[in-house]
Amino acid sequence: MARAPFQVLVYPYRKRNENHREYALLRRADDGTWQGVAGGGEVGEKPIDWGEDVYVIPQYSFGVAADGVQITISHEHTEYGGFTYEEACSLIKYDGSRTALWELDRRLKGKGPRG
């Protein structure tokens, strides 16, 4: 099945204590990079109809509370781990993925983008 022209990125997170959370990252089997749960949309799942000449592929990012959830990886990943925000940022390869994690972390701390 062909993929729709958008990506989805999900960061599962757990509360470590009142002030800190850990974010789940998965290590890709093909290139060893760390990432959140990521993938492209399938045909029929796209949020709007796209033109034929798509130059920028939008990424929709989400955070999901994963307290009490057991993460299971597929053949596409070799391992997963829970990391502090700082640790996760140092492992994530792509700027857009780090930006999504930054925004999630700020929102979970009750902070706006500038304060």
Rounded Cα distance between 68 and 41, Å, is 27
Over residues 66-98, the pLDDT tens digits come to 999 999 999 999 999 999 999 999 999 999 999
- Structure confidence at residue 20 as a pLDDT band (50, 70, 90): confident
Superfamily of domain 3-108: Nucleoside Triphosphate Pyrophosphohydrolase (3.90.79.10)
pLDDT of residue 3: 56
For the chain, the domains span 3-108
Distance of CA 25 to the CA centre of its chain: 8
pLDDT of residue 17: 83
Per-residue b or e along 17-37, where b marks 16 or more CB atoms closer than 10 Å to that residue's CB: eeeebbbbbbbeeeeeebbbb
Give the number of other Cβ atoms within 10 Å of residue 88's Cβ.
25
pLDDT of residue 59: 85
